[in-house]
């Protein structure tokens, strides 16, 4: 398999949404699956742009990494990385942010009244973009009704494929993963494997689809 001459964008990790200069809203994404996918894409010969939220992982060899903190920064970096043949959005992007206070909130002032604002959906944005990558792939992190939710997400978000991920069982932060690949052709259950193996298998499918 070769992806020589192809540009692939990967988003990975969580986003951090600041509340004040010292506090953030975060999630448990480790970035491992996204980094493994970026590595497998580079090993297959693609030019890879990896847009990473705050994670403590080494940059895979040959991968161009852009570090971001917030969903807004991740959206801007993804847009700036276009055009691409394929985008794989693995990041666990925060759905909401708050308008951060400029000074540290003090305990004595009582619990803060946080007003949430919706973040842009990067996957939906790419799906509607005139520069939409030919192959647009999202992940669906689910704890319940994994397949049904992921099938609905593929249509709702305008993705070509969704990798459905049951995150209810120690997947976040772990080294193994069990996914299903959802495409227009249906649902394919993949056996549990290491995140590296899942990445290589996905990249084989991507190489076949991009031709
Ligand atoms: N995603 C994105 N931008 C967002 C939220 C999600 O690009 N603001 C992408 C993720 O990277 C993933 C896909 O959308 O590829 C699905 O993310 P997920 O968290 O499973 O779904 P949500 O749309 O956030 O829906 P919900 O939290 O209700 O399950």
- What is the distance in A from the centroid of ligand 1 to the CA of 43? 27
What residue ranges define each of the domains in the chain, with the CATH number in brackets? 7-101+116-210 (3.40.50.10300)
Distance 195 CA to ligand 1 centre (A): 19
Q: How far apart are CA 206 and CA 37, in angstroms?
A: 11
CA of 3 to the centre of ligand 1 (A): 26
CB of residue 165 inside a 6 A radius of ligand 1: no
Ligand 1 lined by 33 (C-beta under 6 Å): no
Specify which residues 97 forms β-bridges with.
117
Q: How confident is the model at residue 170 (pLDDT cuts 50, 70, 90)?
A: confident
* pLDDT tens, position by position, 30-77: 999 999 999 999 999 999 999 999 999 999 999 999 999 999 999 999
Segment 183-187 mean pLDDT = 96
Q: What is the pLDDT of residues 92-111, one digit of tens each?
A: 999 999 999 999 999 999 99
Instruction: Please say if 27 is a catalytic residue.
Output: yes
Closest ligand 1 atom, residue 90 Cα: 11
pLDDT band at 27 (very low <50, low <70, confident <90, very high): very high
Q: What residue's CA is closest to ligand 1, atom 21? A: 140
Q: What is the pLDDT of residues 189-211, one digit of tens each?
A: 999 999 999 999 999 999 999 98
What is the pLDDT at residue 3? 97
pLDDT of residue 1: 72
Q: Name the band, by pLDDT with cuts 50, 70 and 90, for residue 127.
A: very high
Residue 118 pLDDT exceeds 80: yes
Would you state the pLDDT for residue 76?
A: 98
Q: Report the separation in Å between the CA atom of 210 and the middle of ligand 1, taken as the mean of its atom positions.
A: 24
- Residues 174-186 have a mean pLDDT of 93
Task: Give the number of the atom of ligand 1 that is nearest the alpha carbon of residue 138.
Answer: 15
């Amino acid at each position: 398999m070769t992806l020589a001459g192809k540009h692939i964008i990967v988003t990975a990790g969580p986003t951090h949404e600041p509340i004040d200069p010292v506090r953030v809203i975060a999630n448990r994404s480790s970035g491992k699956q996204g980094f493994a996918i970026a590595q497998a894409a580079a090993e297959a010969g693609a030019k890879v742009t990896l847009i990473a939220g705050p994670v403590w992982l080494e940059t895979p060899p040959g991968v161009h990494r852009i570090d971001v903190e917030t969903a807004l920064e991740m959206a801007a970096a993804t847009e700036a990385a276009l055009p691409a043949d394929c985008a794989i959005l693995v990041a666990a992007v925060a759905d909401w942010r708050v308008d951060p206070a400029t000074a540290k909130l003090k305990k004595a002032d009582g619990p803060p009244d946080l007003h949430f604002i919706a973040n842009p959906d990067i996957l939906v944005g790419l799906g509607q973009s005139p520069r939409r990558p030919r192959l647009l792939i999202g992940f669906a992190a689910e704890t319940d009704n994994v397949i049904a939710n992921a099938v609905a997400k593929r249509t709702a978000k305008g993705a070509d494929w969704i990798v459905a991920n049951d995150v209810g069982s120690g997947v976040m932060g772990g080294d193994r993963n069990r996914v299903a690949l959802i495409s227009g052709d249906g649902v394919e259950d993949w056996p549990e494997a290491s995140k590296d193996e899942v990445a290589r298998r996905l990249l084989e499918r991507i190489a076949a689809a991009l031709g």
